[in-house]
Amino acid sequence: MEFQDILYEEQGPVGILTLNRPDDGNMFTETMCHEIRDCINAVRRETRTRVLVITGAGDRFFCLGGRKDGMQDSQLYAGVLPTLDMYESIDRLQKPVIASVNGYAVGGGNVLQMVCDITIASDKAMFRQVGPMVGSFDAGYGTWYLEDLVGKKRAKDIWYSNPKISPQEAVEMGLINRVVPAAELRQATMEHALKIADRGAFALASIKGAFNARHGGVGGLSRMAHDLLLRGYLDTSEHDELAASFAEKRAPDAGKFGH
256 in a structural domain: no
- CA 21, distance to chain mean position in Å, is 20
Q: What is the pLDDT of residues 165-202, one digit of tens each?
A: 999 999 999 999 999 999 999 999 999 999 999 999 99
pLDDT of 19: 98
- Are 55 and 139 members of one domain? yes
Residue 207 is part of which domain span? 199-246
Distance CA 69, CA 51 (A): 33
> How many folded domains does the chain comprise?
2
Kindly report the number of other CB atoms within 10 A of residue 183's CB atom.
Answer: 12
Identify the bridge partners of residue 97 per DSSP, sorted by sequence position. 52
253 in a structural domain: no
Q: What is the pLDDT of residues 3-48, one digit of tens each?
A: 999 999 999 999 999 999 999 999 999 999 999 999 999 999 999 9
CA distances for 167 relative to 34, 120, 180, 252, angstroms: 29, 9, 9, 60
76 in a structural domain: yes
CB 51 within 8 A of CB 13: yes
Q: What is the pLDDT of residues 236-254, one digit of tens each?
A: 898 888 889 989 999 999 8
257 in a structural domain: no
Q: What is the mean pLDDT of residues 83-97?
A: 94
The residue type found at 14 is V
CA distances for 84 relative to 2, 139, 146, 235, angstroms: 22, 11, 16, 35
CB 127 within 8 A of CB 170: yes
pLDDT of 76: 47
Task: Indicate which CATH number applies to the domain containing 108.
Answer: 3.90.226.10
Q: What is the pLDDT of residues 98-144, one digit of tens each?
A: 999 999 999 999 999 999 999 999 999 999 999 888 877 888 899 99
pLDDT of 88: 92
Helices (H), 98-236: 108-115, 131-134, 141-150, 152-161, 167-173, 185-197, 201-222, 230-233
Q: Regarding predicted confidence, which is higher, 123 or 75?
A: 123
- Are 66 and 138 members of one domain? yes
